[in-house]
């Protein structure tokens, strides 16, 4: 095929459907809407901010079941489906869509185990010499307590399955590890806690690296740093993420190349050895320890809110690149370029997040957007009188770009002050690691 023919094939991309309703999906829709050859972007079900962007609309189906969404994709002649969250990926939505003839960006059920089973992911890492913390797995409380007793040190306790970011307890004492084991087997995390991982506690700064994958090859994205804890100073409970920034200066270009060889390529190789054609995002959460980088988790999708910080850095080729990956032919896509600016994302959450977020509060947004400033909605909805109201824990994020992180964070924080809702909470110290560069 000639270069022109290849470009022509990718130009059939006219209608995209994004599955999900969070800030991640809102920012992906925004990034794709920059490509004017795309006629329509549906977000299913989307949120109160979806229709702020040109050619973007919410697609609300009567029931959110797989068959209905697949039928809608066929009726709307969708060329590309992007599945945002981990739950539908782990349930095999991508497989069913592919069986129905749709072109999908997102791994099938088997590949999604990278995130959906920590035990499975750990085994894959060991089989492929990917550096990670030492671990043991157990299927019963007695077995887990036995391992803890033998090891006689506080261990990190992880429910095996998906637990919305709440299944990990980093313990200071053996007693805490014991309690965490009992908690998991008490059914607190449902079937996610049928199995448990006990992990050696490691230390060091955390950073996330990402690759877009077409089953065979990887396209590496800028690294990002997330802030998982609720309170300033990285204190308080774990959340989905209270803010992020990219590119993380902890990883320069040389280090990113090394991490690609050490972690991302062997991960893809490991998946291929299991006959898994992995199409989607490989997200590796790393800890940079004194004995080298180690993987603490894999995710099978874009991070939220890392995605919101990353999307404004994507070049205009982004849509074509995702489409080419979904078709298993990333070599036919134009090279993905990146904006060289620094990007800062601050999440505003509702009162009570993460335990019991309150909803139903009217949101007042007085931000004047420009090409370096975005507001991405997450837990928002539109009421009958067209007011934007809160409907979830992480409500929205303000994202800004600058020549320096100082500039980016100043712009994001000064505009966050122009948003108000009852009980609005945000961390004041997002990006503290880079606020002087
Ligand atoms: P995860 O849900 O796997 O991302 O874990 C949540 C957080 O727990 C991570 O961001 C780390 O801060 C921490 N964590 C996970 N595994 C370990 C470990 N083996 N040692 C120390 N901290 C960990
Ligand atoms: N922000 C962490 C995650 O998306 O898992």
User: Can you tell me the distance from the alpha carbon of 313 to that of 342, in angstroms, rounded to the nearest whole number?
Assistant: 8
Cβ of residue 170 lying under 6 Å from some atom of ligand 1: yes
Contact at 8 Å (CB) between 247 and 223? Answer: yes
Neighbours of 369 (CB within 10 A): 11
Peptide bond into 247 cis (omega under 30): yes
Token duo for residue 329:
């032919």
- Say how many C-beta atoms besides its own lie within 10 A of residue 163's C-beta: 17
Shortest CA distance to 53 belongs to which of 35, 28, 30? 30
| Nearest one of 411, 330, 326 to 375, comparing CA atoms | 411
Report the C-alpha gap between 331 and 382 in whole angstroms. 41
Query: Measuring CA to CA, which residue among 87, 3, 13, 72 is closest to residue 322?
Result: 13
**Which residues does 27 contact at the CB level (< 8 Å), separation at least 6?**
307, 308, 310, 311, 312, 374, 376, 399
If you take atom 13 of ligand 1, which residue's CA is the nearest one?
A: 170
The rounded distance, in Å, linking the Cα atoms of 233 and 229 is 8
Look up tokens 């959110």; give the residue. Answer: 64
Asked if residues 399 and 412 have their Cβ atoms less than 8 Å apart, the reply is: yes
**CB neighbour class for 273 (10 Å; exposed up to 12, middle 13-18, buried from 19):** exposed
Distance of alpha carbon 380 from alpha carbon 22, whole angstroms: 9
For 342, the token pair is 């620094």
CA–CA separation, 421 and 357 (whole Å): 13
Q: E-strand spans in 195-318?
A: 196-199, 206-214, 218-220, 225-226, 229-231, 235-238, 243-246, 279-289, 292-299
- 20 touches ligand 2 (CB under 6 Å): no
Tell me the best of 226, 302, 307, 376 to mutate to test the pocket of ligand 2, counting ligand atoms within 8 Å of each CB and taking the most: 226
Give the ligand whose atoms come closest to the C-alpha of residue 189.
1
CA separation, residue 72 to residues 42, 43, 194, 420 (Å)? 10, 12, 35, 36
Q: What is the pLDDT along the chain (437 residues), one digit of tens a residue?
A: 666 666 666 778 999 999 999 999 999 999 999 999 999 999 999 999 999 999 999 998 877 789 999 999 999 999 999 999 999 999 999 999 999 999 999 999 999 999 999 999 999 999 999 999 999 999 888 989 999 999 889 999 998 989 877 788 888 999 999 988 988 888 887 777 788 999 999 999 999 999 999 999 999 999 999 999 999 999 998 899 999 999 999 999 999 999 999 999 999 999 999 999 999 999 999 999 999 999 999 999 999 999 999 999 999 999 999 999 999 999 999 999 999 999 999 999 999 999 899 999 999 999 999 999 999 999 999 999 999 999 999 999 999 999 999 999 999 999 999 999 999 999 999 999 998 88
Query: Are residues 319 and 32 in contact, defined by beta-carbon separation less than 8 angstroms?
Result: yes
- Number of CB atoms found within 10 A of residue 411's CB: 19
CA 135 – ligand 1 centroid, Å: 13
Ligand 2 pocket, residue 240 CB under 6 Å: yes
Euclidean distance between the first and final Cα of the chain, in Å? 46
Ligand nearest to the backbone CA of 286:
1
Q: Tell how far the Cα of 324 is from the centroid of ligand 1, in angstroms.
A: 33
Which atom of ligand 1 is closest in space to residue 294's alpha carbon? 19
> What is the DSSP secondary structure assignment for residue 256, as one 8-state letter?
H
Mutation test of ligand 1: which of 132, 154, 164, 168 has the most ligand atoms closer than 8 Å to its C-beta? Answer: 168
Q: Which domains does the chain have, with CATH numbers?
A: 3-108 (3.40.50.20), 135-199 (3.30.1490.20)
The answer to whether residues 413 and 346 touch, using CB atoms and an 8 Å cutoff, is yes
**pLDDT value at position 183?**
86
Q: Is the CB of 92 under 6 A from ligand 1?
A: no
Q: Minimal CA–CA distance to 66: which of 100, 106, 29, 15?
A: 100
Q: What is the pLDDT of residue 190?
A: 76
State the closest ligand 1 atom to the C-alpha of 165, by its place in the atom list counted from 1: 2
């Amino acid at each position: 095929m000639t270069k022109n023919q290849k470009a022509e094939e990718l130009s059939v991309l006219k209608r995209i459907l994004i599955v999900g309703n969070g800030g991640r999906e809102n920012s992906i829709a925004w990034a794709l809407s920059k490509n004017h050859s795309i006629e329509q972007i549906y977000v299913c079900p989307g949120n109160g901010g979806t229709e702020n962007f040109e050619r973007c609309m919410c697609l609300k189906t009567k029931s959110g079941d797989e068959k209905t969404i697949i039928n809608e994709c066929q009726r709307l002649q969708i060329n590309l489906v992007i599945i945002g969250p981990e739950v539908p990926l782990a349930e095999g939505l991508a497989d069913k869509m592919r069986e129905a003839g749709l072109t999908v960006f997102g791994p099938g059920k088997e590949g999604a185990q990278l995130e959906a089973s920590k035990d499975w992911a750990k085994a894959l890492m060991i089989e492929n010499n990917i550096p990670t913390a030492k671990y043991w797995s157990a299927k019963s409380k007695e077995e887990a307590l036995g391992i803890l007793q033998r090891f006689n040190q506080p261990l990190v306790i992880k429910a095996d399955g998906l637990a919305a970011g709440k299944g990990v307890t980093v313990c200071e004492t053996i007693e805490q590890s014991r309690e965490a084991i009992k908690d998991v087997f008490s059914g607190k995390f449902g079937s996610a806690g049928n199995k448990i991982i006990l992990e050696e506690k490691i230390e060091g700064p955390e950073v996330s690296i990402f690759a877009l994958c077409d089953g065979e090859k990887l396209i590496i994205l800028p690294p990002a740093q997330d802030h998982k804890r609720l309170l300033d100073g990285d204190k308080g409970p774990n959340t989905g993420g209270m803010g992020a920034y990219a590119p993380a200066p902890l990883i320069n270009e040389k280090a990113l190349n090394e991490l690609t060889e050490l972690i991302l390529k062997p991960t893809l190789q490991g998946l291929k050895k299991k006959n898994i054609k992995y199409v989607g995002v490989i997200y590796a959460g790393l800890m940079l320890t004194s004995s080298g980088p180690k993987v603490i988790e894999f995710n099978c999708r874009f991070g939220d809110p890392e995605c919101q910080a990353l999307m404004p850095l994507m070049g205009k080729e982004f849509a074509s690149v995702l489409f080419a990956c979904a078709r298993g032919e990333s070599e036919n896509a134009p090279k993905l370029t990146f904006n060289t600016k620094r990007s800062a994302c601050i999440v505003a959450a509702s009162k009570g997040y993460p335990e019991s977020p309150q909803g139903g509060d009217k949101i007042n947004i007085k931000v004047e957007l420009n090409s370096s400033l975005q507001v991405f909605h997450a837990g928002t909805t539109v009421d009958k009188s067209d007011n934007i109201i809160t409907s979830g824990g992480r409500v929205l994020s303000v994202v800004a770009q600058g020549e320096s992180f100082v500039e980016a964070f100043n712009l994001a924080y000064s505009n966050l002050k122009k948003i108000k809702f009852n009980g609005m909470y945000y961390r004041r110290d997002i990006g503290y690691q880079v606020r002087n560069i």
